[in-house]
Amino acid sequence: MVNFTTLLTALFITVVMVPFFRGLAYKFNAVDLPDERKVHVRPMARTGGLAMAVGALVPLVLWASPDLFLRSLLFASSIIVAAGFADDLVDLSPRAKFGAQVLAAAVIIVYGGVKIQHLGGLLPDGWLLPFWLSIPLTMLVVVGVTNAINLADGLDGLAGGISIIAFIVLGFLGFRVGNPVVTLVAAAVVGAIFGFLRFNTYPATIFMGDAGSQLLGFLAIVLAIQLTQNNIALSPALPLLFLGFPILDTLTVMLARIYHGKSPFSADKNHFHHKLMRLGLSHSEAVLAIYLLQVVLVLTAYGMRYCSDWLILGGYLVFCTVVSLFFFLSAHFGWRLKRRQEGEFNELQKRLIELDKLTFMLKTIFRLLQVNFGLVLLIVTLPSTVVPTWLAWVSVISAGLLLVSLVRHKSRKFHNILLRLSVYFTLPVMVYSRAISKGLSGAGAWWCDYGIYGDVAYFTLVLLSLLLLKFTRRSGYKSTPLDFLILGVVLLVPVITPQPVAGVSMGAVAVKIIALFFAFEVIIEESRRWNWGLDLVVVGSLFLVGLKWL
C-alpha cells in the first residue's frame, strides 16, 4: 500500500506544483523559444521538470527508509535537477552540462555503490569487471542514457511517455525480486510523470526542460543498473531493452552528424520523431507510434528477464536493424501516408443525418452514459469496504467544496477542475478498497456486487463512451496520446502481474479505474452546460465515503 500511496502523493504534488512553476517560468524567462528545428510556435515554459522533481523526491524523503543508496540517489538527482534548471535559464556550455552529469554519476557510483561489475553470459562464468574498467563503463552508461532521454524530448509528451513505460516495468521487477527501494522510487516517478503529462500532452502548456528530461534518464538507468547488477538471476543486458529506443535514436543521430562532418552535439531535425512526422504522421500519431514501440521493448524485456544475455543482445541488434532500415527506405523512396480529408463523414453518419436521427441517438446515449456512471459509483461506494481515515476526510472536504461551488454557480471551468481533482484522488482508492473487501467474495446485494453485474456495468461505460465519441459532431472530448498511454498501461499491468497482488487482480482494478476515468472525462467534455446530475452523484458518493468511515 505504501507504493500506491507514494504514487498518488507524487501525482498530487506534481499537479499542484506545475501551475506554480509555470508562472515562475515567465517571470525568470525560463521559456523555450520556437525556431526552425522545433515544432512549437509560441514560447513555452520549461519548468515542468522542477514540478516533477518535487513530486517524485518529496514522498521519498518523507517515507522511504534512508539507506545509503537512496541518500546517494537523492543527492545525485538534486545535482542533475539543479544543473538542468540552470541550463534552462542560461544555456550552459556542453562542458558544464557534462561536468554536472559526471559529478552526479560519481556520487551514485562512489557513495551509492551502483556499478556495472558483471555482464552475465557475455563474459566467462564468474568473471567480474576490474575496478579500473567498471567505474568508467558505469560512468559512460549513466551519462549517455541521461543525455539520450534528454535528446528524445522533442515532442509533447514523448520523453515522459517512454519513461513512464520503463519505470512501470522497473517497479514491478523490483517488486518481484524483492528490491523495495527500486519499487518505491519507480512508483514515485510514475506518479510524478502522470501528473506532469496532464499538462504536457499535445498541445502542451509546459515543457519539462533539461531539468526534467535529464532527471528521468538519470533515474531510469540508475534503477536499471541497481536492479540487474544486484540480482544475478536478471540479465544485465535488460537496460538495453528498457531504454533501447532513445539510445538507438541518439546513436543514429550522432553518427549521421559525424558522417556529414558536423559536431555530434549540433542541433537538427533528424530524430526518429521528426522522421515519423515527415512520413505524414501528425504530432500525436508520431508520439503514439513511439509509445507502441516502447511498450513492445519493455514487454520483451520483462519476458526475457531470465534469458541468455547473448539472446537479448542479439534481439536488440535485430530491432535496431529493422528500425534503421525502415527509416532509410522511407527516406530513399519518399514514402508518405495518404490521409482522408478532414471533416468528412463516414457512410453511417451520413445515413443517420439523412434520417434526422443522429441528434436523438446522441442525446439518448449521453443520458444512458450518465445513468450508468452513477450506477457504477454506487457499486464502488455502497458495499461495505474499509475506508482509510485520510480518504474519508478528503472525500468530505471535496464534497463540501463542490457543494459551495454549485451554490455560487459562477465559474464552470474552476468547478470542473475541482470536480476532476475530487474524482481522481478518491475513486482509484475506492475501487482498490472495494476489490480487497469481503464484497469481492460475493457478499452483498446483487446490484452492488463485483461479479458479472459489475463487469457488465464497466463494459457498458466504455461502450457508451465510444459510441458517443464515434457519432458526435461536437468538438468536446478529444483523444490524446495520454489516453492511449493509459490504455497501454492497463494492458501492460495484467501481462507483467499475472498473479494477484495481496489477493487482488491488479489488472482488473486498473481496467475498472480507467473505464471510470474515461467515461467521466467524456461526460464532462460533452456537457454543454452545468451537469447537475453528475455533480450531485459525485457529491453524494463522496459523502457516502465519509459516512462509511464513521
What separation in angstroms does the CA of 324 have from each of 76, 97, 153, 263, 265?
Answer: 34, 29, 20, 21, 20
Ramachandran sector of residue 238 (left: φ over 0; alpha: ψ -120 to 50; beta: rest): alpha
pTM for the whole structure? 0.74
Do both 402 and 326 map to the same domain?
no
Do both 6 and 96 map to the same domain?
yes
The three cell numbers of residue 378 are: 454506487
Ramachandran sector of residue 76 (left: φ over 0; alpha: ψ -120 to 50; beta: rest): alpha
Q: Which value, to the nearest 10 degrees, does the dihedral of the CA atoms of residues 197, 201, 206, 209 take? A: 70
How does pLDDT run across 179-213, given as a tens digit for each residue? 889 999 998 998 899 888 878 777 777 888 889 89
Do both 74 and 220 map to the same domain?
yes
Q: Give first-to-last CA distance, the chain, whole Å.
A: 22
How much is the average pLDDT of 224-239? 87
Q: In 3D, which of 78, 19, 161, 80 has the Cα closest to residue 484?
A: 161
Do both 264 and 191 map to the same domain?
yes
How does pLDDT run across 113-168, given as a tens digit for each residue? 899 988 877 777 778 888 889 999 999 999 999 988 888 877 878 888 889 889 98
How does pLDDT run across 345-394, given as a tens digit for each residue? 555 555 555 545 667 777 888 888 888 888 888 878 776 556 777 778 88
How does pLDDT run across 48-96, given as a tens digit for each residue? 889 999 999 988 888 767 788 999 999 999 999 999 989 888 888 888 8
Do both 221 and 313 map to the same domain?
yes
- According to the model, what pLDDT value does residue 72 have? 93
If one counts the domains in the chain, the total is: 2
Residue 149 within a domain: yes
Do both 133 and 228 map to the same domain?
yes
Do both 54 and 191 map to the same domain?
yes
Instruction: Give the structural domain span for 49.
Output: 2-333
Tell me how far apart the alpha carbons of residues 514 and 200 are, in angstroms, rounded to a whole number: 19
Query: Measured at the alpha carbon of residue 169, what is the angle toward residues 494 and 462, in degrees to the nearest 5?
Result: 40
Amino acid, res. 42: R
Residue 342 within a domain: no
How does pLDDT run across 383-406, given as a tens digit for each residue? 655 677 777 888 888 888 888 888
**Of 289, 307, 333, which closes a domain?**
333
pLDDT of 104 > 90? The answer is yes
- Sign of the torsion formed by the C-alpha atoms of 359, 360, 362 and 363: positive
Phi first, then psi: give them for residue 504, nearest 5 degrees.
Answer: -120, 135
Residue 341 within a domain: no
Residue 236 within a domain: yes
Residue 208 within a domain: yes
Look over the chain and give the mean of its residue pLDDT values, rounded to a whole number. Answer: 79
Do both 370 and 292 map to the same domain?
no
Residue 339 within a domain: no
Q: Which value, to the nearest 10 degrees, does the dihedral of the CA atoms of residues 300, 301, 305, 307 take? A: 60
pLDDT of 446 > 50? The answer is no
Do both 363 and 499 map to the same domain?
yes
Do both 369 and 324 map to the same domain?
no
User: Mutual orientation of helices 158-176 and 481-496 as an angle, nearest 10°?
Assistant: 10
Do both 415 and 316 map to the same domain?
no
Tell me how far apart the alpha carbons of residues 14 and 54 are, in angstroms, rounded to a whole number: 7
The answer to whether 100 touches 83, Cβ cutoff 8 Å, is yes
Do both 131 and 204 map to the same domain?
yes
**Of 298, 333, 368, which closes a domain?**
333
Residue 340 within a domain: no
**Maximum alpha-carbon separation in the chain:** 78
Contacts of residue 493, Cβ cutoff 8 Å, sequence gap at least 6 = 168, 506, 507, 510
**Of 305, 333, 361, which closes a domain?**
333
